[in-house]
Chain A
Amino acid sequence: MPFTEDPDVFLDTDDFAVDATYDGATAVKVIFDNAYLEGVDIAGTNPVATGKASDFPAGTCIGKTLLIGAVTYKIRVRQLVDDGLFVQLQLEQS
């Protein structure tokens, strides 16, 4: 018997998800992290967002914007998470 997953239950804004705007117009929900990271001896942060793969189509989402709170990011890398239902997006602050 096939098991149908509902990815939306993992993106509840009452839990860890936040509202975001994809490509200037589309409302999406993502889990946003902005943890400390060091690179080339510069101390900064590494913004990443996890969202439904269907919200961020392969091949077209790279370079698109993702507005989270008041900060606009550009999607730089789209990484599948496990079975590919979700993707992790590496973001660059504009």
Chain B
Amino acid sequence: MAAVVTKLTVPPLATVPAAKVLRGRGEEVAAELTPALRVYMGADDLVDPWLPSLIDSEIEVFIEAKVHDAAVNVETTLNQIRKEVNIALAADSTLGLAFVHAIVELGAGRPQISGDLAKPAASMELRYRVKYRRSRADPSA
């Protein structure tokens, strides 16, 4: 997960500064902090547990884009962020890690839009999956 954040912050995206890429945060994002990204993991499922000393897994990665803006269409901003995230993650499909086979894009959820706040607010979930190999004896290796 840290490698995903690194790819989204170094170099920073054009739309979302590095300081606004938030990993593993469950609280609401302050409107003044947007545009922002929340990055968090999903299920980590074994796909090939029968190798002698290694295990292949696939872990889900969720990236939520948050925008709050009256000056531009929030859907347009969400799509721009999605494009920048895809480019950043596709630039190195192994995320710079020897044990990662690849990160793949799964798609994006329907934008959730709220008109209740002071400015139009919107959120979109971007979904990815990372296939990686690890030691059977030590999940961190």
Do chains A and B stick together as partners? yes
Task: Mark the stretch among A9-17, A21-29, A31-39 that contacts chain B.
Answer: A31-39
B45-77 interface mask toward A, CB cutoff 8 Å, 1 = contact, 0 = none?
000000000000000000010101010000000
Q: How far is it, in angstroms, between the C-alpha of A74 and the C-alpha of B115 when the chains are bound?
A: 12
Shortest Cβ gap from B69 to chain A (Å): 10
- CB nearest neighbor in A for B67: A42
Chain B interface extent, by class: 20 to 34
Shortest Cβ gap from B46 to chain A (Å): 31
Task: Mark the stretch among B8-16, B90-98, B119-127 that contacts chain A.
Answer: B119-127
Shortest Cβ gap from B74 to chain A (Å): 10
Q: Report yes or no: B66 in contact with A42, Cβ–Cβ below 8 A.
A: yes
Q: Report yes or no: A44 in contact with B66, Cβ–Cβ below 8 A.
A: no
Q: How far is it, in angstroms, between the C-alpha of A41 and the C-alpha of B112 when the chains are bound?
A: 10
Shortest Cβ gap from B65 to chain A (Å): 11
The binding surface of chain A is classed by DSSP as strand
Would you call A43 an interface residue if the criterion is a C-beta within 8 Å of the partner chain's C-beta atoms? yes
**Which one of B64, B114, B118 contacts A93 once the chains associate, using CB atoms below 8 Å?**
B118
Q: How many residues of A contact B (CB 8 A)?
A: 19
Q: Report yes or no: A44 in contact with B121, Cβ–Cβ below 8 A.
A: yes
Would you call B31 an interface residue if the criterion is a C-beta within 8 Å of the partner chain's C-beta atoms? yes
Q: Which residues of A contact B112 (CB under 8 A)?
A: 40
Tell whether A39 pairs with B116 under 8 Å between CB atoms, given A44-B31, A94-B70: yes
Q: Report yes or no: A41 in contact with B123, Cβ–Cβ below 8 A.
A: yes
Shortest Cβ gap from B110 to chain A (Å): 12
- CB nearest neighbor in A for B38: A41
Report which B residues bind A (CB closer than 8 A).
27-31, 34, 38, 64, 66, 68, 70, 112-123
CB-defined A-B contacts under 8 Å, sample of 28? A37-B116, A37-B117, A39-B116, A39-B121, A40-B66, A40-B112, A40-B114, A40-B121, A41-B28, A41-B29, A42-B29, A42-B30, A42-B68, A42-B121, A43-B27, A43-B28, A44-B30, A44-B31, A44-B118, A45-B31, A45-B117, A45-B118, A46-B116, A46-B118, A47-B118, A76-B115, A90-B115, A92-B70
Report which A residues bind B (CB closer than 8 A).
34, 37-47, 74, 76, 90-94
